[in-house]
Amino acid sequence: MKQDRLLFLDPVFKEMIWGGERLKKDFGYDIPGTRTGECWAISAHEHGDCKVSSGLYKDKTLSELWNTKRELFGDYPGVKFPLLVKIIDANDDLSIQVHPDDTYARFHENGSFGKTECWYILDCKDDGDIVIGHNAKDRQELSDMIREKRWNELIRTIPIKKGDFLQIEPGTVHAIKGGTMILETQQNSDITYRVYDYDRLSDGRPRELHVEKSIDVITAPHIDHSAFVQLETDSGNMETLISCPYYTVVKIHVEGRYEGSMAQPFMNVSVLEGEGTLDGTMIRKGMHFIMTNGDGSYNIEGTITLLCSYPGIQHNETRAGID
């Protein structure tokens, strides 16, 4: 294996009103405070650009490598690194929100990307649930329910358990509830429209809501995309969780030894559980790295669970994404 094929990254942490301390307790990170809500683990976004933690490219940011060393990423096109991988610790409920698609974001958000995202449930309460979708029969009823603040009627929740996987298409109302930890893989964007924030105050004031834009972009009636998610086990060790135009997400679980092959230009890897080695390099729970373009084959040894992602066919080479 080529030297420095693995780009280990230092996460960027975000304090949030709904955050907690589990990123330290469960993952051992050196978090900045008692309300740490997000760990931007693999990110080249300007609001949190990860630095390489060791090796030849130590202290370089991911965006800098994307701009100057595109060969590491298999010459994948695009003005920006396409994906963003986060761990979210929701100690309290998150606001109920929705994301625009690329077309809406381009016209209404200054050329930004839209946001498709997906969630792997790392942990949740025993009787955990999550907000996905709504109960309005059409856009008029959606608009009425939002303007009349009929939240209990509007909001749709579904039960979840550890290990579940959910795809969140643009236009889908969604929210994580307190006690849930997830690993999120998403388009590299942070355009979010807040529909409802449980009437909470942040620094004495309610956080801004985006009622009109939300009504514009929410799909009505709700479409249950979970019906379209095809789970397939590619081998005894590897399971494809989703393959959409923006990304493919796979879970790799090894007990013993596994020889994998990578046909993709590069792969984002997060270690969810356990420890082991990858081509002789020590990897353990909480580490995040990018397997850069190489000869394709790799060896994993140990008892370890990885969540990996690589970019899809949809890229954004033709316009500058600004957000």
User: How far apart are alpha carbons 247 and 268 in whole angstroms?
Assistant: 11
The phi and psi torsions of 162 (rounded to 5 degrees) equal -50, 135
DSSP string, 58-101: TT-BHHHHHHH-GGGGTT---SS--EEEEEEEESSPPPEEE---
- Give the active site residue among 150, 156, 194, 207: 194
User: How far apart are alpha carbons 292 and 290 in whole angstroms?
Assistant: 6
DSSP string, 225-268: GGGG---EESSSSEEEEEE-SSEEEEEEEEEEEEEEE--SS-EE
> Is 7 within 8 Å of 44 (Cβ atoms)?
no
Rounded alpha-carbon distances, angstroms, from residue 131 to 15, 205, 222, 234: 22, 24, 12, 30
User: How far apart are alpha carbons 191 and 111 in whole angstroms?
Assistant: 11
User: How far apart are alpha carbons 219 and 138 in whole angstroms?
Assistant: 9
152-177 burial string, b = 16+ CB within 10 Å, else e? eebbbeeebeeebbbbbbbbbbbbbb
Identify which of 218, 87, 213, 96 has the alpha carbon closest to the alpha carbon of residue 157.
Answer: 96
Q: What is the DSSP letter of 205?
A: B
Residues in contact with 275: Cβ distance below 8 Å, sequence separation at least 6, in sequence order: 282, 283, 284, 285, 302, 303, 304
Q: Where are the alpha helices (DSSP H) in 69-205?
A: 102-108, 139-147, 151-154
User: How far apart are alpha carbons 277 and 153 in whole angstroms?
Assistant: 50
Is 194 one of the annotated active-site residues of the chain? yes
**Residues taking part in catalysis:** 194
